[in-house]
Structure 1
Amino acid sequence: MQHIYSFLISVFQRILPFIGLFIPKLKEFYTVRKDVFAQLNQNIDSNADLIWVHAASLGEYEQVVPVLEELQEKYPTYKIVLTFFSPSGYNIKKDTSLAAYVTYLPLDTKQNAKQFLKILKPKLAIFVKYEFWPNFLQELHKQKIYTVLVSGVFRLSQPFFKSYGKWMQKSLNAFNYFFLQNVESLKNLGQLGFTNAIVSGDTRFDRVSRQLKYDNSLKFIEDFKQDKLMLVCGSTWKDDEDLLIDFINEKHDIKIVIAPHKINSEKIEELKKQLEVSVVNYSEKELYDLKDIDVIIIDTIGLLNKIYSYADIAYVGGAVGTTGMHNVLEPATFNLPIVTGTYINNFPEAIQLQHLSGLSTVKNKTDVQIILNKLVFDSQFRIKTGAIAGEYVSKNTGATEIIMSYLDQTLTA
């Protein structure tokens, strides 16, 4: 089966330039990868000690940040090469200071894998969560390059556990060690005969927890909030905003920040037309006395984590429809009570927070009115609910320390 897989990937690589003429996304997929090897040859020092870290997208990057920070601090002579599969990760983090070089992962052909590793010659390879590319993994195994999986997840729905995907089990031999998020993953991996694994936890908890140590000050939020309660609606989609409109228009004596998931000027203007309160965009904040404004819409990226540090209540978007709920751990780490939609079944941390009473779900405008009014007017309830969320994060930190204790042995051997 791997021969068939490799053949199909190779064919796809050859015809990709032609398919791209008709499908814009595939054109981009080809364009951003066509010069990867030339750029690698130009930018990679063949004599340097390298660590290769691969994250599928932005979420996986955020997950591995604590490990990157530790590696950079403890092993400054090592150069980190970071690869992404998705543009959403690369475009936002291509200039990150946590890596010496950032690029796209070439397509998973045998030739690409050999050429890539020939250029990098990494001392260590780190994969994040569940990004498995058979040819790259097989080549890593063949070259005996130390390889680990961090914050790994193994579900019975993955190809490894299906009759048609058993050939992929062989690629897991590349991993010297698996650092897994939960006991279920350890049990499932054990079914495949792998015992070189440990439940270290999810490094996302370490990532969000570290936000508490950073400088989160934002002058414009201080001018805006004053001494009032503040609701932050993070990573919202239209479905979320439609649920929140009536509550916002009731003109409670609170401040509200809306940070849309996608920055689209036309959709932001449509949202503003529905609001019956004073509202400004972040980009025009200098034109107003913010203490007199009720709502700020954040029409830029990269501020949400800091804004949460000023909040009293958080609404997390993406779980009203099927777009996918966004990170509830970011507000939880700041001891915020969390409200979100009902589509949380694929998000264990949200389910656990709901079970602990640190998170509430809403399915309609009535639900929104009930829970947000309770959080606004019942300070005891608000503080208790937020404390539950914060405690949940603090109790689940520590994965990075476990991972680094192993990597220390590897890198100093």
Structure 2
Amino acid sequence: MMLLYNLGVRLYYLAVYIASFFNKKAKLWITGRKNQTVIRCQDSIWFHFASLGEFEQGRPVLEKMREQHPGRKIVVTFFSPSGYEIRKNTPLADAVYYLPLDTPANARNFIDAIQPTLAVFTKYEYWYHYFKALHQRNIPLYIVSGIFRPKQVFFKWYGGLHRKMLTFVSHFFLQDERSTQLLQAISITNTTVSGDTRFDRVWANAQSPRDLPVIKNFINGKNAFVCGSTWPEDEKLLAVLVAAYPDWKFVIAPHEIGEEKISRLLSVLPQGTAISHSELVKQVDTYSQQHDILIIDNIGMLSSLYQYGRIAYIGGGFGAGIHNTLEAAAFGLPVIFGTNYQNFKEACDLIALRGGFSISNETELIATAKRLTDDAAFYEQSSATAKRYVDEQKGATEKILKLITV
């Protein structure tokens, strides 16, 4: 199994390398690792995140660690360019790197260079050689906001190597009891159900969101749909929603903001009704009356956009899976999303509580929106439910920090 694992890692590298000749993200993945120099340090605290979403999820723990141990070096690593490129200059870390490929030599060299006294991985990202190297050096390794599902390789008959990987973890801080039971079934008992640190992050953001006067002026006191991390499949449906709600404003933040992607989005929307954020900031006074749709063509605004909305549509539900529903729910926005949400506990919870709604086609989207916009009592109940759900689930960070020894 070890031979297959090592072969799989190298084949993945080869596939990304080939893709790098025509894919920007793949090129960043390759060149970022090739060009980086890891600076040696001592007694660091190492945080690893798969991507930007996991960074935001683990950020409350990172912030508290930084606050409580101001003299310690913080090293942050990312697997994905979408995390590294956006957070490479974060003031929360003394050094930010791409995680080198998971080989025995890379793991030894990287850990020898940063010399961590503990490591914190968020949600997932299980790398055998890094975990083994930490274990061999008696460096505590913590998983925060961990969540497990029966279909994962750890619980398959052929998952022996991956189960061994879990034995290298010092403690698992899990999102739910179901994950505890799954781990217990394979004799992993060093667990605590602490909840999901994302609730702490989105709750804090909702208490003091960034002021966005351009967005406020664009909406101009009207009702607004805020559509976050949308993909082409979502945007086809949103074009129908736009036509059904001519008196509403729409703020659409597509998942990918390249020029080609923005042009494609514009092509499915009614002509003359949409403007990009970069164009909007160049205009004055009358722009809020000239356009009904605002396309966010930058990164970093989405979590604060929801404060100006009344209903949220969250993208990704017709692809690999929905994006962050909690950022919107924290502001009391009912959330609508596609059909692929089953692996996201918070989405399942919101549906059960009637603070979230899954739709599979334009008919269901219009029907759901109509009920939320026409039935004031139903809307208020859904809005209050979404907000209360976030309020009641926060507190994971405090539970985790009580048990982590630095």
TM-score by length of structure 1 reads 0.90
Which among 363, 367, 375 is matched to residue 364 of structure 2?
Answer: 367
* Corresponding residue number in structure 1 for 2:297: 299
Which among 258, 268, 273 is matched to residue 262 of structure 2?
Answer: 268
Q: For the residues of structure 2 that align with 1:95 and 1:5, how far apart are their CA atoms? A: 33
Q: For the residues of structure 1 that align with 2:195 and 2:120, how far apart are their CA atoms? A: 16
Which among 310, 313, 337 is matched to residue 312 of structure 1?
Answer: 310
Q: 1:20 deviation in Å?
A: 7.2
Shift in CA distance, 222/136, structure 1 to aligned 2, threshold 3 Å: same
RMSD of aligned alpha carbons: 2.4
Alignment size in residue pairs: 401
* Corresponding residue number in structure 1 for 2:283: 287
Q: 1:13 deviation in Å?
A: 9.6
- For the 8 Å contact 1:333–1:394, the answer to whether it is kept is yes
**What does residue range 340-355 of structure 1 map to in structure 2 within 5 Å?**
340-355=337-352
- For the 8 Å contact 2:102–2:127, the answer to whether it is kept is yes
- For the 8 Å contact 1:149–1:179, the answer to whether it is kept is yes
Structure 2 segments unaligned to the other structure (5+ residues): none
- For the 8 Å contact 2:51–2:80, the answer to whether it is kept is yes
**What does residue range 50-61 of structure 1 map to in structure 2 within 5 Å?**
50-61=44-55
Q: 1:87 deviation in Å?
A: 1.4
Q: 1:173 deviation in Å?
A: 2.6
Give 3-state SS (helix, strand or coil) of 1:403's partner.
helix
Which among 31, 38, 45 is matched to residue 41 of structure 2?
Answer: 45
- For the 8 Å contact 1:228–1:254, the answer to whether it is kept is yes
Q: 1:127 deviation in Å?
A: 1.2
Structure 1 segments unaligned to the other structure (5+ residues): none
Shift in CA distance, 15/400, structure 1 to aligned 2, threshold 3 Å: closer
Are 2:326 and 1:329 aligned?
yes
Q: For the residues of structure 2 that align with 1:259 and 1:322, how far apart are their CA atoms? A: 17
Q: For the residues of structure 2 that align with 1:15 and 1:344, how far apart are their CA atoms? A: 31
Q: For the residues of structure 1 that align with 2:9 and 2:339, how far apart are their CA atoms? A: 42
Shift in CA distance, 337/88, structure 1 to aligned 2, threshold 3 Å: same
Shift in CA distance, 154/347, structure 1 to aligned 2, threshold 3 Å: closer
Q: 1:27 deviation in Å?
A: 5.7
Shift in CA distance, 15/66, structure 1 to aligned 2, threshold 3 Å: closer
Are 2:254 and 1:256 aligned?
no
* Corresponding residue number in structure 1 for 2:394: 397
**Percent identical across equivalent pairs?**
42
Q: For the residues of structure 1 that align with 2:149 and 2:244, how far apart are their CA atoms? A: 44
Give 3-state SS (helix, strand or coil) of 1:32's partner.
helix
Q: Which moved more, 1:177-186 or 1:23-32?
A: 23-32
Are 2:383 and 1:386 aligned?
yes
* Corresponding residue number in structure 1 for 2:171: 177
Shift in CA distance, 100/221, structure 1 to aligned 2, threshold 3 Å: same
Are 2:237 and 1:239 aligned?
no
Q: Which moved more, 1:91-100 or 1:286-295?
A: 286-295
* Corresponding residue number in structure 1 for 2:220: 226
Q: 1:28 deviation in Å?
A: 4.8
| Matched AA of 1:279 | A
Q: For the residues of structure 1 that align with 2:70 and 2:272, how far apart are their CA atoms? A: 51
Post-superposition CA distance 1:146-187 (Å, at most 9, x none): 111111122232222222221332222322211011111101
Shift in CA distance, 4/357, structure 1 to aligned 2, threshold 3 Å: closer
Shift in CA distance, 364/13, structure 1 to aligned 2, threshold 3 Å: closer
